[in-house]
Amino acid sequence: MQAESAQESKQVDVLLVDDDRTGLMILSRSLERANFTVATANSASDALELLRRIRPEVILADVSMPGMDGFEFFRKVRAQGLADVPFIFCSGRDGALDRILGLRLGADDYLVKPIVPEEVILKVRLQVTKMQYLRALKTALESKDSSSIMSGSFGGISVMDVLQTARMLGNGEYAVLFTTEEDSAAVYLKHGQVLHAETGWGGGPKAFARILTWERGKFSIENKHFDDEPTMSGALEEVLLDQLAQLDETQELRGKIEAKGKRFATNINGAILTENEIMVCNLLEKYSSLDTLLDQSPLSDKETAQTFLQLLEKGTIKVASV
């Protein structure tokens, strides 16, 4: 379905935006063969006009378009009241900075051309299913009285999806509770702002980051006031983006550390160390496991891993002999 044939208030699955007409046609036909309804636009300005008449489940837009580029188009889409519509960037530029910028803006995914239609179909189906689930869950939650709890399982949906569902409930006060076989946690929200996160071993931003890595368990959402002093601040969307970026960077740092070895020991020998370096060395003398060291460090996982890697590269930490 081309842009000019869109109808008033038409519900479609996917809006494709790209100045590459050939690529747009190929991808559109692939999605239609997968039983998605598709609208297309050859420029960001055409797409904005089209969005006055249609409501897509997912938007997939090229980054490098003449006139208004994909990043500016994204900002205008969000300003147009479509903050909850999943947005996927695609680009021929495989630069890490572009990808990071797109994700930090709030995009749900970033694909690098040449695009494999099967991959796009999979990612679009995931986003459509997620949005349908979130709307159904929101409706169920809103139909409950104020004292009730909505509960379910996460695994098919992520911790982030559950938190965004609570955010979609509006400007209330909510406790989002999670349990796994190993731990339990709570995230407190007020008017879309994150106030506090806690797990069995600690609280604050570090606890929030750890909760995001949980893959399977149970959750519930309650209407609940947080009585204590907040340990976090910022809109949920901003906190999620920041923590996800830190998780990616921490994982990269851990990969570099673990490529050198699995067990480590200190090798100070009179070295002049910063306060953070002394703290990491002291922790290493107590805990041989990197996971445990990260848990026990008062710094964020990213800061701890950065300090650990610096000490390893300087020789102040060495790979332990077995």
Per-residue pLDDT averaged across 253-266, rounded?
A: 91
Tokens of 44: 């960001």
Does any domain span residue 312? Answer: yes
Per-residue pLDDT averaged across 22-38, rounded?
A: 92
Residue with tokens 């479509």: 82
Per-residue pLDDT averaged across 21-30, rounded?
A: 93
**What strands, in cross-sheet order, belong to the sheet with 38-41?**
38-41, 10-17, 54-62, 87-91, 109-112
Same domain assignment for residues 112 and 170: no
pLDDT at 97: 67
Give CA–CA dist 111/73, Å, rounded: 17
Give CA–CA dist 238/230, Å, rounded: 16
pLDDT band at 132 (very low <50, low <70, confident <90, very high): confident
Domain end position, chosen among 107, 132, 157: 132
Does any domain span residue 250? Answer: no
Q: To which H or E segment does residue 254 belong?
A: helix 236-260
Do 20 and 61 meet the contact criterion of CB atoms below 8 Å apart?
no
Same domain assignment for residues 273 and 219: no
> Residue 9's domain is classified under what CATH number?
3.40.50.2300
pLDDT at 308: 96
Position 217: which residue type? G
Among 23-37, 69-83, 124-138, 158-172, the range scoring the smallest mean pLDDT is: 124-138
Question: Other CB atoms closer than 10 Å to residue 135's CB: what's the count?
Answer: 13
pLDDT band at 10 (very low <50, low <70, confident <90, very high): low
Same domain assignment for residues 150 and 128: no
pLDDT at 12: 82
Enumerate residues 6+ apart whose C-beta is below 8 A from 22: none
pLDDT at 103: 74
The total of structural domains in the chain comes to 3
For the chain, helix (H) and strand (E) counts, in that order, are 11, 12
Residue with tokens 């994150």: 194
pLDDT digits (tens, 9 = 90+) for 67-112: 999 999 999 998 887 877 889 998 876 666 667 777 777 788 888 8
Is residue 44 classed as helix, strand or coil in its secondary structure?
helix
Does any domain span residue 300? Answer: yes
Does any domain span residue 253? Answer: no
Range of the domain at 66: 3-132
Give CA–CA dist 196/130, Å, rounded: 26
